[in-house]
Structure 1
Amino acid sequence: MQGFQNHFLIAMPSLDDPMFKRSVTYLCEHNEEGAMGIVVNHPMNVSLAELLEQLEISYDAKSPAAQAKVVAGGPVQHDRGFVLHTAKPGYHSSLQLENGLMVTTSKDILQDLTTEQAPEKFLLALGYAGWTAGQLEQEIADNSWLVIPADNRIIFDLSHAEKWQKATASIGIQPWQLTGEAGHA
């Protein structure tokens, strides 16, 4: 089986689940057991500083990172933090991904995010998206998702509002060209 790890799932217009509508999901893992991804473009109404304050973790309020919005990473474990970031080893619980990325779930990274010790680029998500064996493949067959290779610039360098359109445009498709109708030859 060829997995879609290190790919984006771009929600098709027909996908109207509020958690995934117009979403771009970075797939961290995909194998015969299922898939795990993080929605990278659904900002929550909470900043990194507010979250760190709630967790009683000290931070630098003057750091631009302090004002970054936390994203809703998906419906699974939405009370747990997942930091998708450029490679920076040394945290207690990190998973090395492809394309120079890591995902860290341990609290020790949170203390660094507003300091010079922070990874060069990062995105803090609460929760993740998960699929059981065969579920994602069926959703793709049902025309719920467009699958494209991931691009770190889309994850980290664009505003959340731009990510869905730029991801579709990266393969030469304008959002108005997408249809909710599935075609089968």
Structure 2
Amino acid sequence: MSEFQSLAGKLLVAMPGIGDPRFEHAVILICAHQADHAMGLRLDRPAPGVDLRAVLDKLEMPEADRAPEQPVLLGGPVDRERGFVLHTDDWNAPDASLPVSEGLAITATREALAALTDPARRPDRSVLVLGYAGWGEGQLESELTGNVWLTAEPSPELLFDEDHGTKWSRALAGIGVDAAMLSTTGGRA
């Protein structure tokens, strides 16, 4: 049996024919990965008609009026009412921010949401994500073995820019794969 290797801080890029419409053309940042579970945030799917101001309004936060026009993303099918701020680590909430990789963290607090509205305090780059993708023990490893996902290194543009429609093809291009050349069926040599 091979030794466990964490994918925290890596991107998962969905293969064509993934078999789950919730993850078609998905680009997911793995935020936590241990032997018994994995958690990631999908970064290419804006929530229709929802922006940061709307979320803060719904939470009745006084900072809502100062919120920048910023889309909110659908991070995955699990716990869609729960929000996560993915941000650069130049901003940090002690005891609440979870490091993802060098330079990146996630924070799921009202304090993080309030910081997004304050130009003097907010992180250099950030995005609010609702929900997450989760895997149980061995599930992600099985999917990787079954050619469901490719792995890639994240770039700030893939993580934070608002060109969501091209993130999948750009993530593939980043690892030297032309999306048009991928097959919807996998095999083993």
Q: In the alignment, what sits opposite 2:86?
A: 84
Which residues in structure 2 correspond to 1:86-165 (within 5 Å)? 86-87=88-89, 88-90=91-93, 93-116=96-119, 117-165=121-169
Output the TM-score relative to the length of structure 2.
0.90
Give every structure 1 segment of 4 or more consecutive aligned residues whose post-TM-superposition deviation is greater than 4 Å. Answer: 60-63
Contact 1:92–1:106, Cα closer than 8 Å, also in 2: no
Please report how far the alpha carbon of residue 175 of structure 1 lies from its aligned counterpart in structure 2 after TM superposition: 0.9
Please report how far the alpha carbon of residue 95 of structure 1 lies from its aligned counterpart in structure 2 after TM superposition: 0.4
Whole-angstrom CA distance in 1 between matches of 2:70 and 2:20: 25
SS in 1 for 2:62: coil
Q: 1:22 aligns with which of 16, 20, 25?
A: 25
Contact 1:9–1:24, Cα closer than 8 Å, also in 2: yes
Identity of aligned residues (%): 37
Please report how far the alpha carbon of residue 29 of structure 1 lies from its aligned counterpart in structure 2 after TM superposition: 1.2
Please report how far the alpha carbon of residue 96 of structure 1 lies from its aligned counterpart in structure 2 after TM superposition: 1.4
**RMSD across aligned C-alpha pairs, in angstroms?**
1.6
Q: How many residues align?
A: 183
Contact 1:91–1:109, Cα closer than 8 Å, also in 2: no
Structure 1 residues 16 and 71, CA, compared in 2 at 3 Å: closer, same or farther? farther
Contact 1:92–1:108, Cα closer than 8 Å, also in 2: no
Output the TM-score relative to the length of structure 1.
0.92
Q: Determine if the alignment matches structure 1 residue 169 to structure 2 residue 173.
A: yes
Q: Deviations over 1:31-63 (max 9, x none)?
A: 211211000111001011111111111236465
Q: Deviations over 1:68-127 (max 9, x none)?
A: 111110111111001110001235521012120010011111112121111110011111
Unaligned runs of 5+ in 1: none
Unaligned runs of 5+ in 2: none
Could you tell me which amino acid in structure 2 is paired with residue 18 of structure 1? Answer: P
